[in-house]
Amino acid sequence: MEGRQVSGLKGACGHMASLAFWFQHRPRMPAKCYYLNMEQRPTNIPERSPEKILSSEEVLQALSLYAEGYTLGRELSDEKGVYLREVEVKGEREGEMTEYLYMRKGSYGMNQSDVTAISVTYYQDGMPVGGERVAVFNEETSEWVQK
The residue ranges of every structural domain in the chain are 2-35, 56-146
In the predicted model, residues of the chain with pLDDT beneath 50 are 1-13, 15-27, 29-30, 32-36, 38
Which tens digits make up the pLDDT trace of 62-99?
Answer: 999 999 999 999 999 999 999 999 999 999 999 999 99
Neighbouring-strand partners of residue 146: 135
User: pTM for the full model?
Assistant: 0.66
